[in-house]
Amino acid sequence: MTKKNQTYLGNLVELKLEVVMHHKGEQNEYLRQSIARDACYSAHNSIQYKTQQMSELKAEMASLRPSAGSEVVDVKLAKKLDIYERMSDERDELEDRFEADKIVFKSITGEEWKPWKKSSNKDVSQVINKLDEIFGKDEKPIQEAN
């Protein structure tokens, strides 16, 4: 958790849990799990996106730094630094949100939330190999036109 205290995080978790639990009944169990999972996914992606934006801005400031001393460059650096600091505060808020979403997800599902891993080429080739075993390998998958 970032700058906020435990009470803040507890309140945030309580509010988020109330929203998810609004969908009552056994028939909505999957819906509750999906809402909690989607909140984690969204919060995680928001942090990644904000971090990328900050990285790009940091690179811009680094490229301007050698020219500091010129009034125009100094003004640009000051503006970019202000934006960077506000982005840092926003990222802290996003991290608090993410922590709360992970706690809610665990209380709903009993599992720790983990980001999806993209399948690698090896995984895809294993799937294709299994499909070839099931369907038989087609040496000429595209039929030639007559």
pTM, full prediction = 0.73
Q: What is the pLDDT of residue 121?
A: 59
| Phi and psi, residue 110, nearest 5° | 80, 5
pLDDT at 140 > cutoff 70: no
What does the alpha-carbon distance between residue 69 and residue 73 come to, in Å, rounded to a whole number? Answer: 7
Q: What is the pLDDT of residue 136?
A: 79
- Both tokens of 54, joined, read 């900050």
pLDDT digits (tens, 9 = 90+) for 91-116: 999 999 999 999 999 999 999 999 88
Domain residue limits, the chain? 6-115
What does the alpha-carbon distance between residue 13 and residue 20 come to, in Å, rounded to a whole number? Answer: 11
| Residue 53 burial (CB count, 10 A) | 15
Q: What is the mean pLDDT of the chain?
A: 88
Q: How confident is the model at residue 130 (pLDDT cuts 50, 70, 90)?
A: confident
pLDDT at 76 > cutoff 60: yes
DSSP-assigned beta bridge partners for residue 68: 70
